[in-house]
Amino acid sequence: MAAAGRREWRLCSATLAEQRPGEQPRYPCGPLTGTGKHQLLVSPGACACGHRSFVSGGIAQLGVLQVWEGRWRVIPYDVLPDWLKDNDYLLHGHRPPMPSFRACFKSIFRIHTETGNIWTHLLGFVLFLCLGILTMLRPNMYFMAPLQEKVVFGMFFLGAVLCLSFSWLFHTVYCHSEKVSRTFSKLDYSGIALLIMGSFVPWLYYSFYCSPQPRLIYLSIVCVLGISAIIVAQWDRFATPKHRQTRAGRRSPSSPRVPSPGRGFVKATTVGQMGWFFLMAVMYITGAGLYAARIPERFFPGKFDIWFQSHQIFHVLVVAAAFVHFYGVSNLQEFRYGLEGGCTDDSLL
């Protein structure tokens, strides 16, 4: 392996000799440190340098930059292969293609354009995993129908945990290869649909506690829409930058579109906790809008390459909105518990 690395380094160096006099590469080629696996190995004809003709003939077309279990440098947007180009307002700090899962996961602890995207949902994943475990371990005395209610809450936490885990995993490994990027992108968008479906379950369960038929109808509609969204997410073209606005629309749960199960706006926003659900919807829609419009980096290209880019803001709002949803549903559960499971005119939302 070491000999092969040195051989490819010589091929890469030879290509640099073809530069025009005085032209300097923006990024050096070849191994950064050491030998063997601790090298930046580049396949023949695909040197990771700044020579534009070389980049277009090597990285952009072949995408064969190979980073093994060692050190690597972040690269600018314009030398990324096409399948890694998503946001052209993030100019610097991108990871190169790294066909090694170990290298991808080790990059979690490096600073690059995906660091914030990874950690916002990795920490969110841990948060909801802990909340889910605590909820499942609550004594049965705090529930009117312990088995049913824990299943209902479990559906929400399952959707949240899967969504957040698929998200941080996608942002971790999407630089591995084009095939891996597409696969985890589909999981990422499928996770969003699972979160939306899981979020509706406890809300509809408690809101229509005394009206099982409408509850079943609404749950069926939500499931059909969610499954349809998952099917659409399997379309390869759906993950391309061209469909950014469509993806943003799918990332916004449609809670406000379901008719309020209340007999009045005041009662719906107090007893029915609709106020929290409206806040949740505002957070989701705001985050999706910033993601679609690529704000703030659109107005300050290169200034938000690492922190506070639109995707990171959206991630934070997703976690916050899911927590707000959990808080509202918890209040609904306490309301039902206070009524001791009874169904009277005053208990109808």
The answer on whether 176 is annotated among ligand-binding residues is no
Name the token pair of 191: 């996770």
Alpha carbon distance 118, 107 (integer Å): 10
292, 284 Cβ separation under 8 angstroms: no
Alpha carbon distance 274, 81 (integer Å): 46
The answer on whether 171 is annotated among ligand-binding residues is yes
The answer on whether 92 is annotated among ligand-binding residues is no
Residue 37 sits at φ, ψ, to 5 deg, of -75, -15
Instruction: With CA atoms as reference, report the closest residue to 87 among 114, 115, 125, 49.
Output: 114
Residue 67 sits at φ, ψ, to 5 deg, of -110, 115
Per the listing, tokens 């005119």 go with: 345
Instruction: With CA atoms as reference, report the closest residue to 189 among 202, 170, 161.
Output: 170
Name the token pair of 345: 């005119």
92, 138 Cβ separation under 8 angstroms: no
Helix 178-207 vs helix 146-173: angle between axes, to the nearest 10 degrees?
160
Q: Is 327 exposed, middle or buried (0-12, 13-18, 19+ CB in 10 A)?
A: middle
Which residues are documented as binding site for Zn(2+)? Answer: 171, 311, 315
Which residues are documented as binding site? Answer: 171, 311, 315
